[in-house]
Amino acid sequence: MAKTLGAIVAALGGDLRGSSDLVIERLAPLARAQAGELAFIAQARYAKQLQQTQAGALIVAPALQDAAAARAPCIVCDDPYLYFARLTQWWRREHEPLPAPRLDPQASIDPSAQLEPEVDVGPFAVIGPAVRIGRGARIGAHAVIGALAQIGAHTVLHPRVSIGTRCVVGARCVLHPGVVIGGDGFGFAPQQGRWVKIEQLGAVRIGDEVEIGANSCIDRGALDDTVIEDGVKLDNLVQIGHNVRVGAHSAMAGCVGVAGSADIGAHCSIGGGAVVLGHLSLADGVHISAASVVTRSITKPGHYTGLFPIDDNASWEKNAASLKQLNRLRERLKALERALEPDLSKTPEA
Amino acid sequence: MAKTLGAIVAALGGDLRGSSDLVIERLAPLARAQAGELAFIAQARYAKQLQQTQAGALIVAPALQDAAAARAPCIVCDDPYLYFARLTQWWRREHEPLPAPRLDPQASIDPSAQLEPEVDVGPFAVIGPAVRIGRGARIGAHAVIGALAQIGAHTVLHPRVSIGTRCVVGARCVLHPGVVIGGDGFGFAPQQGRWVKIEQLGAVRIGDEVEIGANSCIDRGALDDTVIEDGVKLDNLVQIGHNVRVGAHSAMAGCVGVAGSADIGAHCSIGGGAVVLGHLSLADGVHISAASVVTRSITKPGHYTGLFPIDDNASWEKNAASLKQLNRLRERLKALERALEPDLSKTPEA
Amino acid sequence: MAKTLGAIVAALGGDLRGSSDLVIERLAPLARAQAGELAFIAQARYAKQLQQTQAGALIVAPALQDAAAARAPCIVCDDPYLYFARLTQWWRREHEPLPAPRLDPQASIDPSAQLEPEVDVGPFAVIGPAVRIGRGARIGAHAVIGALAQIGAHTVLHPRVSIGTRCVVGARCVLHPGVVIGGDGFGFAPQQGRWVKIEQLGAVRIGDEVEIGANSCIDRGALDDTVIEDGVKLDNLVQIGHNVRVGAHSAMAGCVGVAGSADIGAHCSIGGGAVVLGHLSLADGVHISAASVVTRSITKPGHYTGLFPIDDNASWEKNAASLKQLNRLRERLKALERALEPDLSKTPEA
């Protein structure tokens, strides 16, 4: 696995400062890169690390090019982080090219399924009746696609992905192992202390260029569909309840839970382990910190947080005990303020 | 997919006000229902929405029947939400009838397994030695059932469900894709800084009419069994530790974690993302809010909560910083109160 | 299933007090053990339960041996809990011996895969090109092992485990159903409001004697590998982000999430539902309480906590509302203190 700097620039652009014949054996993080390895400097504030890096070559923005070129050959470009992202894609295509598509003879493909050309189906995949799969899609081993579902062109289902009946996945999506699309939403009507199931008659509709992490779940809607718009990125072990809408290009880190009928705007981000309660709305451009709980609609873009700060356990115990008295403390403070009103009126601080 | 109002009432009861020939093409939520669609009004407080709905027909309680009938044909019944639940079940049976049961030739069924009549087994399912499966059960594609396990009549295992050795699932249960029943409980004895595995010799016993959401896990017990009683409903990505008991008809929303040996009563509800610590008890009828952490036994029915309220990040930072001083604030307040005792004794507020 | 006390002591050591012919039919917890059942007493503080136990035999430490022997035959050993752990292992081997290893004819094994002797491969397992599997490893039904991955000797992959391309699992590991090793880390570069995928070119390296619970996920690194060191124990539904290191013999309970590039020391423990943010370090010997959020590096061993204490909902509402005023309360208290400074200087408490 190796490429010259010249080959990289020929494929991806950028201005090369230094020898185009330099051989790059690996992409590496700046702090640990060695000779033969190519690293990037995302921001000018990492300029100090430039002094210590052992990297064989660097990707840098124009502002750093002279300092960088003094240390190693450079690719100069406007957005080194974005360049690096594209480079990882090219590097993978060059070094781990996908095998030619084939329909594994051990897959179970219903005769009524319609597969466009160049679809790859792995061993033991199960493709149900009237499924439609777009050109160049790759269906991993043990994937299960229910009746009438649709998979868009060039979408990749990794092994063990499950797509429920009538669900739709767009083009150029990536679904990681264990993802479940279209399990039943959690809906029951109470009857004398028991629960009566509400069959979930909707489905899930996923747009284009959506990525969903391992073992994440997106439930089918009760009547209408659950909707994941274009460009959404979900990490692992994320739970999306029924009839949720996730707006375009929003991202959620691992272990996020979104309850039913929440409506999340576009370009939002939700940190790991956060919970969004049901039947509420987040405006476009809302950013929720990790482990925070959204208990009300948020109508203004911005950054929102709610988590108990970690402390050594003994300090936490004292403060947590006091927390249960907080409202009472507030009342006691108010009583003191009233008692002191004449005094306070005399002090300049008041 | 369409049914007349008359056919619906003939199947499910209720009093029809309006034409029995009206054709219903879809069930729809009240706010978005159109002509040809049937919606329900669960409670009188939604009466205002009645004025705006475009629904072709309505399911209402007797108190709303006159107002509703003025807008559209109605089915009048005592509990519209329950009626709606039953209607979804009937609608699904009518429009997506299950295919006739068959044993897929690509399933791996041990010759010693005992399958009652009308069992359906999907492709690539693996049914181990001495497994017993009740009449009419449906075992999805890629389900794996370990040796000696039992599956009750009419239970549905969706694709990719895993049932461990000796585990028992009752009748009329629904287990969604990726569910793991009977993985090992998390038990290790410490030995000089290392962990020595405690083999988990118990199993899991699940009652009748239990539903378990996608990718949820229920661990086998260490010595005794983990027990899920009748009618329990668990959402997706729920974790139940070893030797937990979940009482009948309790419900847990997505991403709940219950640690080992917790004993949860009947008719409890636990909100999404909540955590229940181990070796504690919840009485019957305890309701835990989403994202709350149960750190002690709860002996009285009621509603319990513990979560940090979300705020804009700047406000949260200030309050969270003050929180670490809370016990100290309490002491300072007490000192002030002592200093002011004479003054306070003179004020009417004190 | 039964063994005499004599056979147990012959296999596992300890001093027997009482008849070696006593037949033990089952291991049981102390509180519920009956005649014919063997229980252990881990610590002297359980001595009171000794008076009530109906156990047929007991495993006890030397300090309790006389009191215990007065009730039932005993095995006396230095560490009863450790003895019990070993006993569970022996009990399982004796009563549920593994079937002889075989390569299931319905598995899909690439001709270039190298399997050492005594490897067991279940039905519908998929073993990719150039995979290497060590002696005595057991690959469950529906496991999927990607190209070039390695599985160490005597490791057990339960059904439906997924191991990504180039990932390495050590010897004597146990991976429970639904585990995903080597899904893509969550990495995207922003470009004008959209996300551009950073291909994850690293892999996952897992040491020896690691156990990973059902449906847990460990992501592959972006450039370097994600590393799980020897003896680590992870419970179910745990998420480990890309480029995390988990130090040797650390343990995490269910539903823990660790974000990318976190560096967790050896001999740490992390309680259920806790979240560790990315790019931070935990020293060796750090213990995090359940449901706590680690937002900063922790450099000293110890016990750390951060969770909102649960309360009845009405009390919580009052205190949570006051919490949003906490910084303001602090300022009001300070104003009072200033106003009172002369008074306070006169009181002995100040």
| Long-range pairs of A152-159 with CB within 8 A, sequence gap ≥ 24 | A152/A208, A153/A116, A158/A214, A158/C162, A158/C183, A159/A122, A159/C126, A159/C144, A159/C162
Cβ-nearest to C257 among A159, A273, A327: A273
pLDDT of C339 reads 85
**Which alpha helices (H) appear in chain C, and where do they start and end?**
5-12, 47-52, 65-69, 80-95, 313-323, 326-346
C176 is catalytic: no
- With CA atoms as reference, the chain B residue closest to A309 would be B320
Residue B317 within a domain: yes
Q: Please check whether residues A251 and A165 belong to one and the same domain.
A: yes
Q: Which of A184, A200, A223, A201 is nearest to B29 (CA)?
A: A223
Q: How many Å lie between the alpha carbon of A227 and the closest alpha carbon of chain B?
A: 16
Closest approach of C301 to chain B, Cα-based (Å) = 14
Question: What are the tokens at C300?
Answer: 């000293």
Q: How many CB atoms lie within 10 A of CB C44?
A: 12
Residue B349 has pLDDT above 60, yes or no: no
Same domain, C144 and C60: no
d(CA A67, CA A55): 14
Question: C66 near C82, Cβ under 8 Å?
Answer: no
The answer to whether residues B123 and B265 belong to one domain is: yes
Do B127 and B45 share a structural domain?
Answer: no
C241 to chain A nearest CA, in Å? 8
Dist CA B279 CA B243 (whole Å):
9
Q: Are A59 and A84 in contact (CB under 8 A)?
A: yes
pLDDT of residue B339: 85
Quote ipTM for the complex: 0.95
For residue B101, tell me if it sits in a domain.
Answer: no
Quick: pLDDT tens for B153-179.
999 999 999 999 999 999 999 999 999
Name the active-site residue from C154, C158, C242, C287: C242
Residue type, A244: V
What is the helix (H) or strand (E) element at residue B290, kind and residue range? none
Asked if the Cβ–Cβ distance from B160 to A183 is below 8 Å, we say no
The kind and range of the H/E element at A108 are: strand A108-109
What string of pLDDT tens digits covers the 350 residues of chain C? 899 999 999 999 999 999 999 999 999 999 999 999 999 998 878 888 888 899 999 999 999 999 999 999 999 999 999 999 999 999 999 999 999 999 999 999 999 999 999 999 999 999 999 999 999 999 999 999 999 999 999 999 999 999 999 999 999 999 999 999 999 999 999 999 999 999 999 999 999 999 999 999 999 999 999 999 999 999 999 999 999 999 999 999 999 999 999 999 999 999 999 999 999 999 999 999 999 999 999 999 999 999 999 999 999 999 999 999 999 999 999 998 888 776 555 544 43
Burial per residue of C236-275, b for 16 or more beta-carbon CB atoms within 10 angstroms, e otherwise: bbbbbbbbbbbbbbbbbbbbbbbbbbbbbbbbbbbbbbbb
% of chain B exceeding 70 in pLDDT: 97
- Residue A340 and residue C338: Cβ atoms within 8 Å? no
Give the residue from A160, A167, A195, A258 with the most B CB atoms within 10 Å of its CB, the best one to mutate: A195
pLDDT tier at A348 (50, 70, 90 boundaries)? very low
Chains near C (3 or more Cβ pairs under 8 Å): A, B
Chain B residues whose beta carbon lies within 8 Å of the beta carbon of residue A105: none
Q: Which of A32, A90, A293, A327 to mutate to test the interface with C (most CBs of C within 10 A)?
A: A327
* The pLDDT value given to residue B340: 78
**What's at A321, amino acid-wise?**
A
Cβ–Cβ below 8 Å for A237 and C241: no
Same domain (yes/no): A151, A297: yes
Chain B contact set for C316 (CB, 8 A)? 289, 304-306
The pLDDT of residue A45 is 81
Residue owning tokens 């450099």: C299
CA distance B324 to C312: 23
B157 and B245 assigned to the same domain: yes
**pLDDT tens track for B208-234:** 999 999 999 999 999 999 999 999 999
Identify the burial level of B132 via C-beta atoms within 10 angstroms of its C-beta, where 0-12 means exposed, 13-18 middle and 19 or more buried.
middle
Does B222 fall in a domain?
yes
Q: Identify the DSSP state of B45.
A: G
Contact C60, C76 (CB under 8 A): yes
Single out the residue in A95, A118, A148 at which a domain terminates: A95
Q: Is residue C83 left, alpha or beta, with left meaning phi > 0 and alpha meaning psi from -120 to 50? A: alpha
What's the CA gap between C121 and C106, in Å, rounded?
9
Of C183, C223, C302, the CB nearest to A177: C183
**Cα–Cα nearest to C185, from C83, C258, C127:** C258
Interface test with A, best of C226, C268, C322, C343 (most A CBs within 10 A): C322
SS3 content of chain A, % helix, strand, coil (to 5): 20, 30, 50
Report the alpha-carbon distance of residue B286 to residue B302 in Å, rounded. 5
Q: Kindly state the tokens that stand for B204.
A: 């899991």
Residues 6+ apart with CB under 8 A from C110: C127, C128, C129, C130, C131
Of all residues in chain C, the one with the smallest CA distance to B217 is: C214
Residue C112: per-residue pLDDT? 98
Write out the DSSP string of B168-237: EE-TT-EE-TT-EEEEEP--EEEETTEEEE------EEE-SS-EE-TT-EEEEPSSS-EEE-TT-EE-TT
Same-domain check for residues A38 and A138 = no
Helix (H, G, I), strand (E, B) or coil at A138: strand
Contacts of B215 in chain A (CB under 8 A): 178, 180, 215, 217, 237
* Of C245, C275, C273, C272, residue with least CA distance to C258: C275
Which strand (E) or helix (H) includes residue B142?
none
CATH number of the domain bearing residue A29: 3.40.1390.10
**B14 & B72 share domain:** yes
Catalytic residue chosen out of the listed positions A242, A267, A287, A303? A242
Residues of chain B with C-beta less than 8 angstroms from the C-beta of A257: 237, 254-255, 272-273
pLDDT for the residue numbered C42: 85
Residue B350 has pLDDT above 90, yes or no: no
A223·B343 Cβ contact <8 A: no
Domain, as residue range, for B324: 313-346
Q: Based on the fold, state whether residues B123 and B53 are members of the same structural domain.
A: no
- Tell me, what's the pLDDT at B45? 81
Shared domain check, A158 and A269:
yes
**Under 8 Å between Cβ of C73 and C57:** yes
- On whether residue A103 sits in a domain, the answer given is no
**Cβ-based contacts of C164 with chain A (< 8 Å):** 177
Q: Is residue A73 part of a domain?
A: yes
In a domain, B258, yes or no: yes
Task: Decide if pLDDT at A59 tops 60.
Answer: yes
Mutation target to probe the A interface, by most A beta carbons within 10 A, among C199, C234, C324 is C199
* Same domain, residue pair B289 and B337: no
> How does pLDDT run across B262-313, given as a tens digit for each residue?
999 999 999 999 999 999 999 999 999 999 999 999 999 999 999 999 999 9
Q: Which amino acid is located at A38 in the chain?
A: L
CA distance A71 to A59: 12
Task: Decide if A101 is inside a domain.
Answer: no
- State both tokens at C136: 């005595």
Last residue of a domain, one of C42, C71, C95: C95
The total domain count for chain C is 3
Q: B152: domain CATH number?
A: 2.160.10.10
Tell me the C-alpha to C-alpha distance, in Å, between residue A208 and each of A156, A233, B89, C39.
Answer: 12, 11, 32, 58
- Say if residues C155 and C173 touch (Cβ distance below 8 Å): yes
The two three-digit tokens of residue B329, written as one number: 């604030």
- B-chain residues within 8 Å CB-CB of C326? 318-319, 322-323, 326
Question: Tens digits of per-residue pLDDT, A15-26?
Answer: 999 999 999 999
Is residue A68 domain-shared with residue A206, that is, in the same domain?
no
Q: What is the pLDDT of residues C236-287, one digit of tens each?
A: 999 999 999 999 999 999 999 999 999 999 999 999 999 999 999 999 999 9
Q: What confidence score (pLDDT) does residue B57 get?
A: 97
Q: Which chains touch B (3 or more CB pairs under 8 A)?
A: A, C
Q: Determine which one of B158, B176, B242, B249 is catalytic.
A: B242
- Among A265, A272, A270, which residue's Cα sits nearest to residue A287? A270
What integer is the mean pLDDT of B239-267?
Answer: 98
Between chains, do C350 and B335 touch, taking CB under 8 Å as contact?
A: yes
Q: What pLDDT is attached to residue A340?
A: 78
Residues of A within 8 A of C239 (CB-CB) are 235-237, 254-255, 272
Kindly identify which residue of chain A lies nearest to residue B95, measuring between CA atoms.
A201
Single out the residue in C66, C95, C124 at which a domain terminates.
C95
Residue C11 forms part of a structural domain: yes
Residue A204 predicted with pLDDT over 50: yes
Tell me the helices (H) and strands (E) count for chain B, helix number first.
Answer: 6, 39
A329 CB neighbours in chain B (<8 A) are 329-330, 333
- In chain A, the residue whose alpha carbon lies closest to the alpha carbon of B346 is A339
